[in-house]
Amino acid sequence: MKKEKKLSNIVQKKLFWQRFVLNFSITWFGLFLLNTSISTSLDIKQRIENKESFTKLKLSNIINLILFYYLFNVSLKLRKQEPDVLLRKPSAAKSVLDDLRYFYDKEEDDDIYSSLKPKDIENLCKKIDFSPLSYSEQYAILQGLIVTAHNNPVVAKILKSNLLPSTLRIDDSLLVGGQLVHGEKIIKKGHILIQDHLDITAVAHELFHTKQCMDGAFLPKELRSYASVMNEAQAKALNLILAVTPNHTDYFIEYKSEINNWVEQIQNLQLFEVQKENLPLSRRAKIGKAQERTMGIIMKCLIEGDEGLREQIAQSLCKNQLSKWDLGEMHFTVANWRDYYIKAGYEIQEEKLKKILPSLSKELKLIPLLNEYYSEETGIPQSLEAVKIDSSKPSALYEYLNTNKQKTK
């Protein structure tokens, strides 16, 4: 049976070929380095025996020795950046792991939405390198994630997913809560920077980005402006969901600068709908599904620049249950977010895309896969072309796809 094509399969295929090429390069250059070293050693030995000058050593051997040593080291360094090998043991200190406190519901099923267990934290610490942090920072972050995942099944699912192996560091000079630096042209290990180790929402936000990386959500290059907006919108939706969920812990500091009643209203409505569907799911799984749908609705609102259309989207997905005040809060949050994330450079990119879109056949083929991915992740139909860089008009991608659709009719 033919394997279904998904974004994550493309990522794994890219990783396979990166590993193959780098492993082949290391072996090739290593053998040549060994051969050149042996040849040079024999040359030196012969000159010692014949009492000849070393200035007449073969120049080609010396050049090859330097060249292959350099190439071997470069290949080795690149290979070490590959995100395919988990750490052999958890990166957090054993004393920290032993002191962590876990929380479970009595009738909790062991699935992707269940509360985190010691094995889940150990697996997380093999994907994410916590070693640059102090013991107190490790403890605060891990304990905060355990509590947050217990109160938010969607976070438990994220932390149990395939994450891009990354190193976590604290950088109090950051102007934002957190940042993930990862390879764009090749897939390599990431670096997560967090401004404050007590800001667990920022940690969860960046870890969510590492999931998106391995899922393939960052694959587009020329269409990166759209993918970036979608990925940030999804992660922002997670932030908003966490902001309305009580977290009973002394290890957690939440930064609330927005009014989020509208988010709570959407989440309650989605939970009611999930429960009404009577799906064969555990209580936590139903909450997780409701949180994912809430995430999907918020995403669609964040990527829509026109207030009127945004209201239509929100109300249609919430059965007209949002009040005037809910909608006002939503517009306030969306406007602030779009002012920050819809960058000026994206408008320049739009003009460029209008000219080059017909030549982006490979990237255009990713669009259905991206749309399917976001839709499956949130349970709400999503489309990359719906991203509005300019609030008053459709995107260059939307216009191109719509025009070509009309031509093929």
Interatomic CA distance for residues 10 and 219, integer angstroms: 9
Residues above pLDDT 70, as percent of the chain: 86
- List of E strands, 19-170: 128-129, 166-170
Confidence of residue 32 (pLDDT cuts 50, 70, 90): confident
Cross-strand pairs, 178: 194
Q: CB-based burial of residue 273 (10 Å sphere; 0-12 exposed, 13-18 middle, 19+ buried)?
A: middle
**pLDDT confidence of residue 84:** 60
Cross-strand pairs, 170: 194
Cross-strand pairs, 271: none
**pLDDT confidence of residue 277:** 87
Confidence of residue 75 (pLDDT cuts 50, 70, 90): confident
CA dihedral 317, 319, 321, 323 (to 10 degrees): 60
* Mean pLDDT to the nearest integer, 4-29: 79
Q: Is the pLDDT of residue 186 over 70?
A: no
Residue range 200-242, pLDDT digits in tens: 999 999 999 999 999 999 888 889 889 999 999 999 999 999 9
* Mean pLDDT to the nearest integer, 60-77: 75
Q: Is the pLDDT of residue 409 over 50?
A: no
Q: Shortest CA distance to 312 belongs to which of 332, 330, 291?
A: 330
The DSSP letter of residue 131 is T
pTM for the whole structure: 0.86
C-alpha distances in angstroms, 22 versus 221, 228, 262?
A: 22, 29, 50
C-alpha distances in angstroms, 91 versus 12, 65, 96, 120, 133?
A: 24, 37, 10, 13, 10
Contact 121/89 with Cβ under 8 angstroms? no
Read off the tokens for 387: 């991203």
Q: Is the pLDDT of residue 286 over 80?
A: yes
Confidence of residue 1 (pLDDT cuts 50, 70, 90): very low
Residues above pLDDT 90, as percent of the chain: 50
Q: Shortest CA distance to 217 belongs to which of 386, 371, 400?
A: 371
Residue range 142-151, pLDDT digits in tens: 999 999 999 9
